Chain A
Amino acid sequence: MGARYGMVIDLDRCTGCGSCMIACASENNVPALPQASPRTGLTPVLVRKVSNGQSGAGRRETFIPIMCMHCEHETPCVKVCPQQAVELDKATGIVMQMPQRCLGCRYCMTACPYHARFFNWWDPAWPQGMEKSLNPGVAVRMRGVVEKCNLCHARLHAAKEKAAAAGKRDIDSSDYVPACVEACPTNAIHFGNLADPNDPVSKEARSPQAFRLLARLGTEPKVYYKSTENWVRNLAEPNSAQGSEVQHG
């Protein structure tokens, strides 16, 4: 049985700084095209702000980083792709997007319930000289293809190589840390192997404060969220959180 890499994002800790977004874009050679807008932009990790809808002293807000959930069951994007440009990897549980195979029909973008897929509307371009700062581990995509979070596969590659050079079969888990996980200043994003019952992330995912977005669709997303605040859990799954409210703010 292979690994099932997943995440638990602690919303009590997310301060909405955006470091995860910037670290991800930087790691994956995402260009900053001036003509992009919120609708046409490319943000493999996107942090959204949600509130409890009140104003004044009763207002509460929290931030939610959204990225590809790496759905495990009847993965919507995999099912609709006419090109087989996306595949659920049995060995790692990662839903692998292959921009070089994609023909750009964007059916997967429609199918994804989480709006976690983005289209390259334009050819990437950088100011002169900035190409020297591109990450060698990730190929640059061209216009006309869809891309999304691949759980920093370049880092998994590096971890595998390092293990092979040392004569080991399995990677050292401290060598494979996605960019967003590494960048978070409050350690809000926890990454690990959900298939390993002893992995702390696996345990967190099974805790009562953990929830998933749109879990009722049955796609079995592997990115969990955690919050001690009832209004946050209720926002994700109405009436799911009962009991005494943890007072914050």
Chain B
Amino acid sequence: MKLSRRDLLVWSAGAAAGLLATPVPWKILDDTSIWSQNWPWIPQPARCPVETRQSVCTLCPKGCGLRVRMAGGWAVGVAGLNTHPLSRGALCPLAYAAHQLNWHPQRLRVVQHRTNPSSWEQARAAFAKASKEGPVVIIDGYPGRAASALFETYTEGRDGNYCVVPSPEIRALTPYESWTGVPAHCLGYDLENTRTIVSFGAPLLDGWGTPGRFTRIWADRAAGRSDPELRLIQIDSSLSRTAARAWRWVRSREGTHAALASGLARALLEQNLVPAHGPIPATTLAESAVQCDISMEAILELGRSLVAKSPTLVIARDDSPAIAALNVLLGSVGARGGVVRHSQHSNLRSYTGSDVQNARAVLIDSSVPWNFMPQTDAEVFRFAAWHGASTKADWLLPAPGFLEELTDVPTPPASSLASYAVAPPLVKSATEVHSAAQFLSSIDARLIPTEKMIYTRCEDLFRRRAGTVHAHSAIPISELASVQKLVEQLWQGAVWVGEPSPDKLRCRLQEWPSATRSSPPDDGITDWIPPVMPALASKLYVESTLREAAERRKAWAPATAW
């Protein structure tokens, strides 16, 4: 029997018909559709139970309380902590994507020596050598931590300096230093008890101070009310976010805030709205009005509204003394609802360009903002978790990223009460990283490690028996049984808050500061800029009209193909 082509065709037809009665076509269809709905190259989240841990954000010195969702040892979500007395459950926009930052393409992973990969051993050797050859300057962007104390100890008795780059909020408090004798780092604003705030360009609702602190106060006491309990007067040359939501927006010409402050001082004095025994501005009301492009009547009226609901607090964006003097005139320095002292500290030296002129080596901590660029020929050891703008740094040293190291959180800028918290390490780092403090400890064995210092600070707090510990509820520290209990609480995200300072802050202003424009600070920093935006934040700002074009371009991280 010869097999013909017809046989093959008939057989195939039979096979096809038979196949329909088998699972083959149906199962393949079903399985392929399942496969097509679950393409294997689409990354999926880990299949792990989720735990919630508490910590404090250390991306900037504002110290917001965090609830971190963890799965499989990694952070998978970040939210605010409602019981945190300062941040009250709010965070800045970046924080919500901060758990992704540790894998940002610009994450610094290996030690680099002038763009060539190097090693920690070589970096240590180079630093040890440099420190023997000449002065070492250490620059800290987040003063008050245990690591900061380690930096100070290192430079004591050695040739060199420890200096800090203060946050803009602290910088704005520097005029009060010479009038009160109290360092700016120890001063803050009693926002909780004030009733009128006059902000000269300070973006109070847009990233000023601890993000949740003022936004929550303002939302509770001012938002949407025609006669709010808290009056926010925003002085800005254009309609900023804060101005758009303020009780009143005063439009003044660009760069004339100090002139307006002088004009307001005159207006207050002329209308006998403040006691007239202090210094008087040199410029007249008419001159100020011309400079600011605001009518005299408007300035007089503004002066009246300043004191209609007291206490009144003036907050400047920069360290202009003329604006700070307004607070003195209004009696707000050292008073309830005004500029207050939160703690006793020794003076901290702010960075000036001359600090690095004769240095042999400069060590820049990872907390220093990226727009800080010292002009120096010294060998620069730059610690950072992420690459920032290009900067002259001989050594780029990978520092711990978000939630990767144990560190403490001293009183955030602009607070009215002292506080202390601890940020425990919640995630591991993928590569070998060291903070500047750890680096110095590994070179100089005499330095006390930061972990030990943090514990000692807890012991001090416990011994002084003053203040409250805010965990799920607020407990006076005197009710805690032992230091161990305090440590346990702090390691789980609790915050210690001190009591208001008992001694009166004395303020003496001899003569009214001149209303000339303050020179930009030596370090070139006017705002805190994150080294790198989380990719989600840049994406969302670009895809919406939320941030203006120029800022949009700055915010958009370079497109990296991944």
Contact = CB atoms under 8 A, between A and B. Distances in A.
**Direct contact, A vs B (beta carbon within 8 Å):** yes
Interface of A: 10, 12-13, 15-19, 21-23, 25-27, 29-30, 32-38, 41-43, 46-49, 56-57, 59-63, 100, 123-142, 179, 182-188, 226-228, 246-249
A18 B46 CA distance: 27
Given A18-B544, A247-B226, A186 B103 contact: no
User: Which of A17, A42, A141: most chain B Cβ within 10 A?
Assistant: A17
Interface in B211-257: 211-212, 215-216, 218-219, 223-226, 234, 239, 241-249, 251
A140 B241 contact: no
A156 to B, nearest CB: 15
Given A15-B242, A129-B430, A47 B544 contact: yes
Contact of B76 (A134, A188, A248): A134
A62 to B, nearest CB: 7
Nearest to A46: B544
B46 A49 contact: no
B28 to A, nearest CB: 20
Contacts of B205: 15, 186
A22 B542 contact: no
A200 B208 CA distance: 31
Instruction: List the 9 closest A-B pairs by CB distance, nearest first.
Output: A12-B224, A41-B543, A185-B90, A134-B45, A32-B535, A34-B559, A32-B539, A130-B103, A131-B43
A26 B97 contact: yes
A182 B93 contact: no
10 contacts: A12-B245, A18-B541, A41-B539, A56-B251, A57-B251, A63-B546, A126-B103, A134-B46, A184-B90, A228-B225
A234 B320 CA distance: 41
A49 B545 contact: yes
Nearest to B43: A131
B96 interface: yes
A47 B42 contact: no
Scoring A23, A57, A141 by chain B CB atoms within 10 A of each residue's CB, the highest score goes to A23
A140 B76 CA distance: 14
Contacts of B216: 185-187
Contact of B46 (A13, A15, A136): A136
B536 to A, nearest CB: 5
Interface in B530-550: 534-546
A48 B546 CA distance: 7
A209 to B, nearest CB: 8
Interface of B: 37, 39, 41-48, 50, 69, 71-72, 74-80, 89-94, 96-97, 99-100, 102-105, 205-207, 211-212, 215-216, 218-219, 223-226, 234, 239, 241-249, 251, 430, 534-546, 559-562
A135 B46 CA distance: 8
Given A13-B223, A127-B104, A249 B43 contact: no
A22 B537 contact: yes
Nearest to B87: A185
B336 to A, nearest CB: 25
Contacts of B219: 13, 185-188
Nearest to A51: B239
Nearest to B538: A32
Nearest to A180: B96
B42 A248 contact: no
Candidate in A47, A133, A142, A182 with the most chain B CB atoms within 10 angstroms = A133
B15 to A, nearest CB: 32
Contacts of A127: 103-105, 535, 560, 562
A169 B61 CA distance: 44
A136 B245 contact: no
Contact of A62 (B99, B244, B539): B244
A136 B71 contact: yes
Q: Mostly helix, strand, loop or mixed at chain B's interface? A: mixed
A29 B216 CA distance: 28
A22 B97 contact: yes
Contacts of B92: 17, 19
B100 A130 contact: yes
B46 A23 contact: no
Contact of B226 (A18, A25, A61, A228): A228
Contacts of B546: 16, 18, 21, 47, 49, 63
B562 A138 contact: no
A60 to B, nearest CB: 7
A125 B540 CA distance: 16
B79 A182 contact: yes
B45 A27 contact: no
Contact of A136 (B47, B78, B212, B225): B47
Given A100-B37, A136-B46, A140-B45, A21 B540 contact: yes
Nearest to B44: A140
A249 B543 contact: no
B226 A133 contact: no
B224 A228 contact: yes
A183 B91 contact: yes
A25 B545 CA distance: 17
Contacts of A247: 226, 248
A26 B99 CA distance: 9
A127 B205 CA distance: 33
A32 B536 contact: yes
B206 A15 contact: yes
A37 B543 contact: yes
Nearest to B244: A61
Contact of A27 (B77, B91, B215): B77
Contacts of B47: 136
Contacts of A228: 224-226
A132 B79 contact: no
Contacts of B248: 247, 249
A100 B37 CA distance: 6
Given A32-B539, A35-B559, A247-B226, 17 more contacts: A13-B223, A21-B544, A22-B96, A22-B540, A27-B77, A34-B559, A60-B239, A62-B244, A131-B45, A132-B46, A132-B103, A135-B45, A135-B76, A141-B42, A185-B216, A246-B226, A248-B246
B539 A33 contact: yes
A9 to B, nearest CB: 12
Contacts of B251: 56-57
Given A133-B99, A136-B47, A185-B211, A15 B241 contact: yes
B76 A133 contact: yes
Nearest to B94: A22
A140 B103 contact: no
Contacts of A59: 239
Contacts of A136: 45-48, 50, 71, 76
Nearest to B543: A41
Contacts of B80: 182-183
A23 B540 CA distance: 11
A138 B43 CA distance: 12
A237 B534 CA distance: 37
Between A18, A48, A128, the greatest number of chain B beta carbons within 10 A of the residue's beta carbon is seen for A18
B245 A248 contact: yes
B302 to A, nearest CB: 13
B539 A18 contact: no
A140 B41 CA distance: 11
Contact of B540 (A43, A56, A128, A185): A43
